[in-house]
Amino acid sequence: MTLEWSSSTHKRLFLLRSIPNSLRGVLGKAWQQHYEELYEPEADGAASLQDALDKILKLFQNHNRTLSHLRYVWIALILVSAVEPTVRYYQPNSSIPGETFNRIAFWLLETLEELLSSKMRFTQVSSEKEATVIVDVCRLLTETKEIASFQVLPEALDVYSSAIKTLDYNQSLEALSDILDDCLEGYAIFPGSYGRRELFDWWLLEVVPASWYLFPPSSIYLVNELANEKSIALHQMDKLEKISSAIWSIILIKSLRKEMSIRQKFSSTYDFFSNKIELNVKLEDSKL
């Protein structure tokens, strides 16, 4: 297995230090423990991987519901990027990876734009759109031919259908848990037991902190036996970086417009009172 870096480790350390203390504490505890589910010889059965994942994901719910949802979907998009090489290996011409990634990315940008513009509730904005997307991707999965009879490809494809389900707030937590199960304990990213702890650490120390801020991770996790491994990693990171940049552009532009609007209102109010004071002064002077 390998981790291809798109930037220095300073980014990862900065994000780990910047996240809330409660989340950082849970991540630290999860990192120190050993899990039978990850085939670690040091595991004594005292720690449950599912419990650790549940605690981390539920911490995202302690804040704004809309932001929690965006973070869940962003985690799903990162994991979809890590799973794509598996599908490409067995089905090089499959339209599912690109179709799903683009739909989720478009949903993130469009929903964020609508939310910041209209202040509508998150589920109200997305419910009809997300239902259409789920139907379309499920159709793609159903129409996919020559699916291998073993576990790898079906679980990789299952990640895509679960990723689409995260667009529905009410399904997002369960769908994200299914994705993590397919990746960490299943064969969606690679078969066998070797390297699962490394994959978990990547998710724990890079994906989770980065997702808190809707940033891409510092690296993308890939199996190092892949042909053109470095170019694949760069391509996947480039896509995530572009979406993250677009997300933050929307946020910053909306924030700037809001600030300018407040300043204009303040300026108008100031001008109103200034003119009124000036008029009163003139009136008082005329009485003298």
Read off the pLDDT of residues 220-268 as tens digits, 9 standing for 90 and up. Answer: 998 766 667 788 889 999 999 999 999 999 888 877 766 565 555 555 5
Return the H-helix or E-strand segment holding 116: helix 96-118
Beta bridge partners of residue 222, listed in sequence order = 2
- Write down the pTM of the prediction: 0.80
94 in Cβ contact with 144 (< 8 Å)? yes
Report which of residues 255 and 142 the model is more confident about: 255
Burial (Cβ within 10 Å: 0-12, 13-18, ≥19) of residue 16: middle
Averaged over 134-148, what is the pLDDT?
Answer: 50
Instruction: State pLDDT tens for residues 153-172.
Output: 999 999 999 999 999 999 99
**Residue 90 confidence (pLDDT):** 87
Instruction: State pLDDT tens for residues 102-113.
Output: 999 999 998 888
**Residue 10 confidence (pLDDT):** 63
Helix-, strand-, coil-residue percentages of the chain, each rounded to 5 = 75, 5, 20
Q: Is 3 helix (H, G, I), strand (E, B) or coil?
A: strand
Tokens 């009124």 correspond to: 276
Q: Which amino acid is at 92?
A: P
Averaged over 79-91, what is the pLDDT?
Answer: 92
Residue 112 in tokens:
């964020």
Residue 109 in tokens:
């940008």
**Burial 57-83, CB ≥16 within 10 A → b, else e:** bebbeeeeebebbbbbbbbbbbbbbbb
Considering the chain, what percentage of its residues have pLDDT values greater than 90? 51
Total residues belonging to the chain: 288
In whole angstroms, give the CA distance from residue 35 to residue 139: 37
Averaged over 10-27, what is the pLDDT?
Answer: 84
76 in Cβ contact with 179 (< 8 Å)? yes
